[in-house]
């Protein structure tokens, strides 16, 4: 390279930079300048600073004589030789750290720092010194975490050391491997250093934002994660952070669109270290703070609005908003929020049409560890527990990597792992990000996997069962089915989904369906609450003190026990509604049987004993009964929150097991008492058709409700007089029985005569695609099936349409 290549400018203030400056200052610094210059009017606050340019780096490398020797060594290096990689990388970094900056670069950097100190009215401003490579933060390669960041840097001497350290970090072992694996020429990648005013998040909180769901790639939500202290603990996976999901369409309409909150453990935080050689230190978080969320809903929504503005600004080549990976921080002194970094998201944004891999566990195995799932894959292999990057040489191709956490130093072996399991971290930590990028299952935040799992153990790592990732003992068989959204044939009848687990909703919402025909409140209550609602209203009636203590423990951090129920149920329903918005979803009020209610925590104090709970105190009869009406009020409050506060008016509600017209009237009255008025704000109320009396009185039920959903399981059970769970009578129970089919035909005819819609949410069309053909012949308004049955039902109905057309 000629000397002229290294001409100035050597320092540029952020406010003079934009994305067109990327060759000069790298992706990180260019993006900071772009936001300061272009997004201030949108209210986005970014701490100011300056960039030491790539030209300064090149001049330093050549003037000190380092360049020729270093790049020659790298050309000869075999990155698969771990020892040679470590030896070469360490030698290169030490030589750069020891070298002196050219005087012109030194003087320009110190003057810029003094000017920044004056700007913030400080003698020596505290800054973050970050690397910004000229090939990083690209739409196709993030280079996230490949170089170093130094926090709480003050004064000329510390700044000079940090600048040289940043320059040296272009040659970390992980950065060398990353460039080699992705085909970047080492000599063509230069490093700019960003110097940015620190946000005092050590006194408050910080975290990461993705403008899509990181697990499914669903584009209509924003994921905000956060923990106490400086944000490095979240980025590096040192903590299990709080998580918040914001629904973009309703956020744009001004609603409180935080559709889900998940509280993390947040065990430690990174704060300023006053004096000594270390600038930051890690300390434990007090237990009372761990129980609190680090952000209020208003703060989450403000970050969400800024994330939308950033995504809208960073459009792709077709003019579409580009998914972004953003870092935020809250200043503990002023209480203000700031954006401190933004880069393109590089995993889901490059994916093609939505594909859904549906897994169904068919084998069994003892659960050895569990945490948060990353991705939706399943992988079996042999455990290799590694506590330190120094032991990475022992790792073998395809093993299950089990570690306390990972950081970029672990990357040379991550691509060789069959799966990753960590003690610490959340869905935006290093292990999660890299695992998504290379497409392997990852379970983070298990707490004690490095203690509970031992080397050589055969395990199966499953991230295909919702938010909870599991590590099973031995080889556990899963059946896999791939669904390509763009390959599903168009059905002549609207096909909806039965969604039992809200955690899968963002995957399922990307499939071309007509919405959700059934979401059961009892599924959310059992998995996300686990406590009988009446025990939350009247804990004093729970006589067992240990049970009462466990109930209080589950609701820790919430303003009250009932609020715990309302918030958790609203989150579950809200996640499904957001995933399918604006398509309708039908939410069925709880239909636990008394024995099932009694099995919930504290439930035995509130439930009668019944010899036949299947046709006992269940469904509609509970909602107006003094035994449960207060519990039903909590269900109504959760639905109101979803519809009125979150703005998800695509939610319709459904009443199960409604035996008589009089009972239906009592339930509608109870709902109105609790703020759910039929027709208000477009609220539709459906009734399940699962009792013969619903068929005989179909005209009258049609006058009372907005539509029907056929529950073929219970309708067959009560029409045939067969216990659907009986092994002895299994050969008699069949939804395809002619009597059951006549009942269904009667209801559809009666409802259509009254201008009311009829769908089916029972199991029959999922188990028997030909049953869907029968329903289509009756011109049913929709068919709702389980996700795994979707391809077969759509294909069967499409073939039926083609056969009719060609006849």
Answer for the pair 243, 225: CB distance below 8 angstroms, yes or no: yes
Residue with tokens 């035909």: 745
Residue with tokens 């609450």: 529
> What is the residue-wise DSSP string for 610-643?
-S-GGGSS-THHHHTSTTTHHHHHHHHHHHHIII
**Starting at the edge strand that comes first in sequence, how are the strands of the sheet with 242-247 ordered?**
258-262, 242-247, 221-228, 205-210, 324-330, 337-344
**Cis peptide preceding 310, ω within 30 of 0:** no
Residue with tokens 């399943």: 378
Q: In angstroms, rounded to a whole number, what is the distance separating the alpha carbons of residues 415 and 404?
A: 18
- Respond yes or no: is residue 430 known to be catalytic: yes
Sequence-distant (6+) residues with CB within 8 A of 238 are 232, 268, 270, 282, 405, 424, 425, 429
Q: In angstroms, rounded to a whole number, what is the distance separating the alpha carbons of residues 460 and 478?
A: 10
Other beta carbons within 10 angstroms of residue 764's beta carbon come to: 26
Tokens found for residue 389: 């990057």
Give the active site residue among 429, 442, 689, 761. 761
Question: If phi over 0 gives left and psi between -120 and 50 gives alpha, with beta otherwise, what is residue 624?
Answer: alpha
Answer for the pair 593, 622: CB distance below 8 angstroms, yes or no: no
Nearest to 66 by CA among 147, 183, 187, 194: 187
Q: In angstroms, rounded to a whole number, what is the distance separating the alpha carbons of residues 536 and 550?
A: 11
Length of the chain: 807
Give the active site residue among 430, 532, 768, 796. 430
The torsion defined by the Cα of 614, 576, 562 and 239, in degrees rounded to 10, comes to: 120
Which DSSP letter does residue 18 get?
-
Sequence-distant (6+) residues with CB within 8 A of 297 are 256, 258
Q: In angstroms, rounded to a whole number, what is the distance separating the alpha carbons of residues 341 and 147?
A: 15
Say whether 688 sits in a helix, a strand or coil.
Answer: strand
Answer for the pair 600, 590: CB distance below 8 angstroms, yes or no: no
With 0-12 CB in 10 A as exposed, 13-18 as middle and 19+ as buried, what is 273? middle
> What is the residue-wise DSSP string for 274-295?
-SSS-SEEEEEPPHHHHTS-SS
Q: In angstroms, rounded to a whole number, what is the distance separating the alpha carbons of residues 571 and 297?
A: 13
Nearest to 690 by CA among 702, 708, 671: 708
Angle at 189 between CA 183 and CA 194, to 5 degrees: 135
With 0-12 CB in 10 A as exposed, 13-18 as middle and 19+ as buried, what is 778? middle
Q: In angstroms, rounded to a whole number, what is the distance separating the alpha carbons of residues 634 and 389?
A: 50
Q: In angstroms, rounded to a whole number, what is the distance separating the alpha carbons of residues 465 and 364?
A: 13
Q: Which residues are catalytic?
A: 430, 761
């Amino acid at each position: 390279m000629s000397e002229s290549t290294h001409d100035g400018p050597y320092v540029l203030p952020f406010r003079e930079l934009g994305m067109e400056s990327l060759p000069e200052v790298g992706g990180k610094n260019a993006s900071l300048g772009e936001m300061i210059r272009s997004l201030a009017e949108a209210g986005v606050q970014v701490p100011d600073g300056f960039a030491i340019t790539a030209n300064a780096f090149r001049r330093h490398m050549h003037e000190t004589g380092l360049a020729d020797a270093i790049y020659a060594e790298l050309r000869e290096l075999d990155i698969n030789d771990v020892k040679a990689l470590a030896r070469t990388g360490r030698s290169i970094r030490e030589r750069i750290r020891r070298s002196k900056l050219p005087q012109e670069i030194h003087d320009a950097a110190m003057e810029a720092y003094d000017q920044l100190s004056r700007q913030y009215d400080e003698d020596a401003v505290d800054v973050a010194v970050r690397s910004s490579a000229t090939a990083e933060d690209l739409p196709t390669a993030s280079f996230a975490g490949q170089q170093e960041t130094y926090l709480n840097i003050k004064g000329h001497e510390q700044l000079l050391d940090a600048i040289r350290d940043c320059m040296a970090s272009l040659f970390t072992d992980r950065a060398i491997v990353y460039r080699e694996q992705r085909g970047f020429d080492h000599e063509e990648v230069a490093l700019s250093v960003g110097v940015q005013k620190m946000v005092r998040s050590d006194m408050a909180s910080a975290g990461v934002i993705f403008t899509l769901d990181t697990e499914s790639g669903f584009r209509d939500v924003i994921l905000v994660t956060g923990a106490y202290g400086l944000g490095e603990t979240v980025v590096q996976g040192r903590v299990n952070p709080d998580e918040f999901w914001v629904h973009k369409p309703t956020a744009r309409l001004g609603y409180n669109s935080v559709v889900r909150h998940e509280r993390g453990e947040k065990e430690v935080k990174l704060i300023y270290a006053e004096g000594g050689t270390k600038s930051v230190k890690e300390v434990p978080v007090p237990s009372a703070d761990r129980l609190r969320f680090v952000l209020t809903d208003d703060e989450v929504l403000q970050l969400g609005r800024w994330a939308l503005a950033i995504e809208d600004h960073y459009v792709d080549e077709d003019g579409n908003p580009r998914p972004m990976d953003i870092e935020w921080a809250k200043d503990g002194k002023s209480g203000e929020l700031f954006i401190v970094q933004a880069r393109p998201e590089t995993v889901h944004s490059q994916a093609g049409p939505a594909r859904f891999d549906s897994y169904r566990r068919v084998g069994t195995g003892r659960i050895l560890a569990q945490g948060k799932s990353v991705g939706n894959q399943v992988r079996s292999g042999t455990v290799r527990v590694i506590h330190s990057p120094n032991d990475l040489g022992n790792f073998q191709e395809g093993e299950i990597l089990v570690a306390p956490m990972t950081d970029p130093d672990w990357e040379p072996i991550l691509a060789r792992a069959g799966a990753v399991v960590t003690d610490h971290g959340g869905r935006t930590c290093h292990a999660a990000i890299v695992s998504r990028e290379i497409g392997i299952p990852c379970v983070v935040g298990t707490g004690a996997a490095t203690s509970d799992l031992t080397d050589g153990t055969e395990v199966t790592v499953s991230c295909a069962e919702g938010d909870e990732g599991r590590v099973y003992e031995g080889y556990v068989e899963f059946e896999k089915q791939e669904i390509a959204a763009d390959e599903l044939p168009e059905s002549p009848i609207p096909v909806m989904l039965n969604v039992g687990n809200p955690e899968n909703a963002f995957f399922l919402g990307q499939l071309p369906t007509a919405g959700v025909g059934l979401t059961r409140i009892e599924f959310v209550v059992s998995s996300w609450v686990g406590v009988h609602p009446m025990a939350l209203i009247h804990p004093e009636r729970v006589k067992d003190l240990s049970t009462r203590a466990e109930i209080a423990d589950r609701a820790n951090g919430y303003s009250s026990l009932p609020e715990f129920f309302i918030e958790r149920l609203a989150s579950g329903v809200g996640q499904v509604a957001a995933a399918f918005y604006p398509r309708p979803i039908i939410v069925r009020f709880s239909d636990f049987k008394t024995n099932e209610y009694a099995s919930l925590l504290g439930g035995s104090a509130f439930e009668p004993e019944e010899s036949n709970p299947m046709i006992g105190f269940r469904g509609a009869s509970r909602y107006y009964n003094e035994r449960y009406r207060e519990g039903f009020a909590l269900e109504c409050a959760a639905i109101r929150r979803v519809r009125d506060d979150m703005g998800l008016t695509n939610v319709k509600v459904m009443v199960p097991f409604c035996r008589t017209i009089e009972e239906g009237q009592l339930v509608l009255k109870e709902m109105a008492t609790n703020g759910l008025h039929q027709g208000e704000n477009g609220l539709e109320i459906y009734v399940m058709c699962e009792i013969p009396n619903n068929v005989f009185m179909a005209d009258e039920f049609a006058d009372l409700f907005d539509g029907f959903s056929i529950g073929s399981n219970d309708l067959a059970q009560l029409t045939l007089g067969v216990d659907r769970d009986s092994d002895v009578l299994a050969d008699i129970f069949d939804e395809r029985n002619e009597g059951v089919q006549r009942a269904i035909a009667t209801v559809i005819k009666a409802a259509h005569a009254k201008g009311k819609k009829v769908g089916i949410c029972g199991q029959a069309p999922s188990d028997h695609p030909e049953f869907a053909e029968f329903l289509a012949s009756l011109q049913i308004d929709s068919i709702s099936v389980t996700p795994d049955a979707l391809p077969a039902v759509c294909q069967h109905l499409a073939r039926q349409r083609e056969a009719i057309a060609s006849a």
